[in-house]
Amino acid sequence: MKIKEMRDLNAEDLKEKERNFVEGLFKLRFRHAAGQLDSTSALKQARKDIARVKTVLVEKEDSK
């Protein structure tokens, strides 16, 4: 998901996205530990998505 799309969402939607990304990262880590993950770049992408959501949440809190 792109940062521009995230900025269009409200705080509740962003928190839900964050929960989904964290859950997805957990599942990816589990698959990686089990040796079933084909592409380790998915781990990096998941971490970046979480960071983007957190950044936008902080921006929204600061703008209040």
Q: What is the CATH number of the domain that holds 12?
A: 1.10.287.310
> What does the pLDDT read at residue 55?
96
Find the Cα–Cα–Cα–Cα dihedral 24, 55, 45, 14, rounded to 10°: 40
Structure tokens at 30: 């589990």
The CA radius of gyration of the chain, in Å to the nearest whole number, is 13
Q: Could you give the number of structural domains in the chain?
A: 1
CA–CA distance, 5 with 28 (Å, rounded to integer): 24
Low-confidence ranges of the chain (pLDDT < 70): none
Rounded Cα distance between 10 and 50, Å, is 16
Please say whether the beta carbons of 40 and 32 come within 8 A.
Answer: yes
- Enter the tokens of residue 46: 């998941």
Structural domain that includes position 44: 3-62
